[in-house]
Structure 1
Amino acid sequence: MKVLNKVLTVFFILFGTLSAFAQPPSPGGPEAPPSPIDGVGLLMLAFSAISLGIYVIYKHKLKTKASV
């Protein structure tokens, strides 16, 4: 379980840092409309959602096995 937490922490730190520098600032300044999510951002979002879903299901199964 501790290994899974370390892997998830490294994953979110790595991709959080990469996504922060993924796009240059917009030329319109802070009042410019936000950019849409492109293909890479959508892929990272889907992968994160699937990873979180697997984690939640795994945690739920551990709790239900322990109570039996």
Structure 2
Amino acid sequence: MDKEKTFDDAMKDLEGIVQKLEQGDVPLEEALDQFQEGINLSRYCKRIIEDAEKTVTRMVNEDSSEDTADN
């Protein structure tokens, strides 16, 4: 998987895989490949979300520290 893929692009790809697999007419080998790619995309998206959460938490904590220092 392309590590430079945006979160939105990865989610669109993941949604496409889910739709394709839900149709049920995919050969087993292709379904397994698609499933594995879906797992990889899901993990990639999860890492992006976790990084964003850490950034927001850090920013909020820094802001709280500044507010406390001002008082």
TM over 0.5: yes
Higher relative contact order (CA 8 A, sep 6+): 2
- Could you list the per-position Cα deviations for residues 4-48 of structure 1 after superposition, in whole angstroms to 9, with x for gaps in the alignment? xxxxxx632x33433343326224xxxxxxx77711000000001
Compare CA radii of gyration and give the structure with the larger one: 2
SS at the partner of 2:13? Answer: helix
Give structure 2 stretches of 5+ with no counterpart: 1-5, 26-30, 66-71
| TM-score, structure 1 normalization | 0.56
2:12 aligns with 17
Which of these residues, 46, 49, 63, is aligned with residue 49 of structure 1? 46
| TM-score, structure 2 normalization | 0.54
More helix by share: 2
Which of these residues, 49, 56, 64, is aligned with residue 59 of structure 1? 56
Give structure 1 stretches of 5+ with no counterpart: 1-9, 28-34
Identity of matched residues, %: 6
Matched AA of 2:53: V
1:51/1:40 CA distance change after superposition, 3 Å? same
